[in-house]
């Protein structure tokens, strides 16, 4: 689902603790934990070695291999593991070298592989939690660094794809698939479709999941208009994510206008997109950076959206958020939302049951081109949304 960006980070130079060692016999052992646990033996002494990579939590050998001098081995597993590395000389079975994972004060790089706003906001907190737990020198790349740089001064932010040297460890956060479409369980710990979105990062980094709002950089520019207003976002990246009830948005917008609220559309796609039309009476947010949208959300009475990054942004800002979604099961997002889900007789949760075909705008894995297509959100009426948001309006 997410295409990894290329970061060529293979250095294992000396840090505060050496990550190179002379092993008995005169050869050298180099190791790091960049995209898995890695060992390379160099030197002129012809020798054969057995390298074991052990998960120290269970004292279980996850991978082992026989190598000779001037060759290397790496584990397939890439998510956080408290590794123990052991190197044996094969001819006499003697243990020559042991290293226990410890990234304290070491340089660790974590790359967020997704460009999506929602993913980035859901995962960012786990990076800071990792830094605090391990007391490491954390380097991070996201596709939205400007949102976070000033708020996390202890993290070094770099651009995706930028080469970073002298690394002890590196982890990539994302949803990863094998060529056959199955989940790559060497990069993801569990089936991410069965979890909250934010758990992906926590699992890969070996942390407990906490749905904590990340800190973002955006100055409060004051209320952008004198009237009270409600923000909405109607567009997304696939029709299955939309609220597909044909009269739903019109009913809600008319209700808000009759109550005296302005209705501000935050979706950058505008009033018409992929056959979806925004009701009359809606005001488009002025063009500008994402900080403009954040400022509108900061002073809004309410936000109403669908399964898109703007719903996550509203939650992060602290705006009361109403999420209309049949695309995902309720556990996918955080709990402190007004969540409008389909009735129990409707098909729903395709996001959690199938791999999204991002190239098919009309993706509906079980009911495409049938009368039941998008029945999940077609079954959600305007009245249901109005009833849910009414207590939060004056």
**Backbone φ and ψ of 139, nearest 5°:** -115, 140
pLDDT score of 21:
87
Strands (E), the chain: 20-22, 28-34, 38-42, 48-55, 60-68, 71-74, 83-89, 94-100, 107-112, 137-141, 156-158, 169-173, 229-232, 262-265, 272-273, 276-277, 283-284, 302-305, 321-324, 338-340
pLDDT tens readout for residues 175-216: 999 998 899 999 999 999 999 999 999 999 999 999 999 999
Task: Judge whether 212 lies within some domain.
Answer: no
- Mean residue pLDDT of the chain comes to 92
CA-based nearest residue to 257, from 79, 366, 393, 381:
393
pLDDT tens readout for residues 101-116: 999 999 999 999 999 9
Q: Is residue 267 domain-shared with residue 309, that is, in the same domain?
A: yes
Angle (CA) 230-234-239 rounded to 5° is 165
pLDDT tens readout for residues 118-169: 999 999 999 999 999 999 999 999 999 999 999 999 999 999 999 999 999 9
**Backbone φ and ψ of 110, nearest 5°:** -120, 125
Q: Is residue 274 domain-shared with residue 342, that is, in the same domain?
A: yes
Q: What pTM did the predictor assign?
A: 0.91
Segment holding 155, helix H or strand E: none
Task: Judge whether 115 lies within some domain.
Answer: yes
pLDDT tens readout for residues 32-53: 999 999 999 999 999 999 999 9
C-alpha to C-alpha distance for 265 and 283, rounded to whole angstroms = 6
State the number of CA atoms in the 13 A half-sphere of 95 facing the CB.
7
| Residue 289 structural domain | 229-392
Q: Is residue 1 predicted with pLDDT exceeding 90?
A: no
Q: Is residue 13 predicted with pLDDT exceeding 60?
A: no
Task: Judge whether 51 lies within some domain.
Answer: yes
Task: Judge whether 217 lies within some domain.
Answer: no
Q: Is residue 148 domain-shared with residue 274, that is, in the same domain?
A: no
C-alpha to C-alpha distance for 334 and 209, rounded to whole angstroms = 11
Task: Judge whether 213 lies within some domain.
Answer: no
pLDDT tens readout for residues 347-391: 999 999 998 888 999 999 999 999 999 999 999 999 999 999 999
Q: Is residue 170 predicted with pLDDT exceeding 60?
A: yes
Q: Is residue 74 domain-shared with residue 123, that is, in the same domain?
A: no
**Spatial contact of 121 and 89, defined as CB atoms under 8 Å apart:** no
pLDDT score of 16:
39
pLDDT score of 19:
59
Rounded average pLDDT over 86-93: 96
Q: Is residue 3 predicted with pLDDT exceeding 70?
A: no
Angle (CA) 65-101-178 rounded to 5° is 55
**Spatial contact of 243 and 295, defined as CB atoms under 8 Å apart:** no
C-alpha to C-alpha distance for 65 and 78, rounded to whole angstroms = 17
**Spatial contact of 198 and 334, defined as CB atoms under 8 Å apart:** yes
> 198: which DSSP letter?
T
Number of domains in the chain: 3
Q: Which two tokens stand for residue 92?
A: 């006499």
Q: Is residue 91 domain-shared with residue 115, that is, in the same domain?
A: no
How would DSSP label each residue in 48-102? EEEEEEEETTTTEEEEEEEEETTEEEE-S--S---EEEEEEETTTTEEEEEEE--
CATH number at 36 reads 2.60.40.10
CATH number at 334 reads 3.40.50.2000
Last residue of a domain, one of 169, 204, 239: 204
Last residue of a domain, one of 100, 121, 149: 100
**Backbone φ and ψ of 195, nearest 5°:** -130, 165
Q: Is residue 132 domain-shared with residue 244, that is, in the same domain?
A: no
pLDDT tens readout for residues 225-236: 999 999 999 999
Q: Which two tokens stand for residue 387?
A: 């009833």
Rounded average pLDDT over 316-338: 93
Task: Judge whether 253 lies within some domain.
Answer: yes
Q: Is residue 54 domain-shared with residue 190, that is, in the same domain?
A: no
Task: Judge whether 342 lies within some domain.
Answer: yes
C-alpha to C-alpha distance for 394 and 389, rounded to whole angstroms = 11
Last residue of a domain, one of 100, 117, 136: 100
Task: Judge whether 218 lies within some domain.
Answer: no
Confidence of residue 20 (pLDDT cuts 50, 70, 90): confident
C-alpha to C-alpha distance for 366 and 350, rounded to whole angstroms = 8
Q: Is residue 18 predicted with pLDDT exceeding 60?
A: no
Q: Is residue 65 domain-shared with residue 112, that is, in the same domain?
A: no
Q: Is residue 182 domain-shared with residue 327, that is, in the same domain?
A: no
Q: Is residue 162 domain-shared with residue 78, that is, in the same domain?
A: no
Q: Which two tokens stand for residue 94?
A: 């003697």
**Spatial contact of 326 and 306, defined as CB atoms under 8 Å apart:** no
pLDDT score of 356:
86
Q: Is residue 279 domain-shared with residue 358, that is, in the same domain?
A: yes
Q: Is residue 77 domain-shared with residue 181, that is, in the same domain?
A: no
Provide the annotated active-site residues.
Answer: 119
């Amino acid at each position: 689902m997410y295409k990894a960006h290329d970061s060529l980070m293979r250095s294992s130079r000396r840090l505060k603790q050496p990550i190179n060692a002379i092993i008995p016999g005169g050869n050298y052992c180099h190791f790091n934990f960049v995209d898995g646990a890695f060992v390379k033996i160099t030197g002129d002494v012809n020798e054969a070695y057995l390298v074991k990579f052990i998960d120290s939590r269970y004292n279980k050998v996850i991978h082992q291999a026989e190598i000779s001098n001037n060759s290397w081995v790496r584990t397939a597993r890439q998510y956080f593991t408290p590794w123990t590395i052991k190197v044996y000389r094969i001819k006499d079975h003697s243990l020559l070298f042991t290293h226990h994972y410890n990234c304290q004060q070491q340089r660790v790089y974590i790359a967020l592989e997704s460009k999506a706003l929602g993913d980035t906001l859901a995962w960012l907190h786990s990076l800071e939690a990792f830094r605090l737990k391990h007391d490491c020198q954390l380097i991070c790349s996201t596709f939205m660094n400007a949102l976070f740089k000033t708020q996390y001064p202890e993290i070094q932010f770099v651009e995706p794809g930028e080469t970073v040297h002298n690394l002890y460890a590196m982890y990539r956060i994302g949803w990863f698939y094998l060529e056959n479409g199955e989940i790559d369980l060497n990069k993801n710990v569990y089936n991410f479709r069965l979890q909250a979105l934010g758990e992906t990062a926590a699992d890969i980094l070996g942390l407990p999941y906490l749905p904590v709002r990340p800190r973002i950089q955006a100055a409060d520019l004051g209320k952008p208009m004198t009237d009270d207003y409600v923000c909405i976002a109607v567009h997304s990246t696939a029709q299955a994510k939309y609220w597909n009830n044909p009269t739903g948005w019109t009913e809600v917008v008319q209700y808000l206008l009759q109550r005296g609220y302005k209705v501000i559309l935050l979706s950058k796609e505008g009033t018409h997109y992929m056959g979806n039309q925004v009701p009359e009476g809606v005001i488009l947010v002025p063009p500008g950076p994402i900080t403009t949208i954040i400022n509108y959300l900061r002073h809004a009475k309410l936000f109403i959206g669908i399964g898109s990054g703007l719903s996550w942004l509203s939650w992060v800002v602290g705006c009361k958020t109403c999420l209309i979604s049949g695309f995902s099961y309720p556990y996918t997002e955080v709990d402190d939302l007004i969540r409008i889900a389909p009735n129990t007789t409707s098909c729903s949760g395709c996001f959690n049951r199938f791999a999204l075909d991002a190239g098919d705008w009309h993706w509906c894995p079980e009911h495409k081109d049938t009368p039941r297509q998008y029945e999940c959100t077609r079954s959600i009426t305007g009245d249901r949304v109005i009833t849910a948001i009414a207590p939060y309006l004056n």
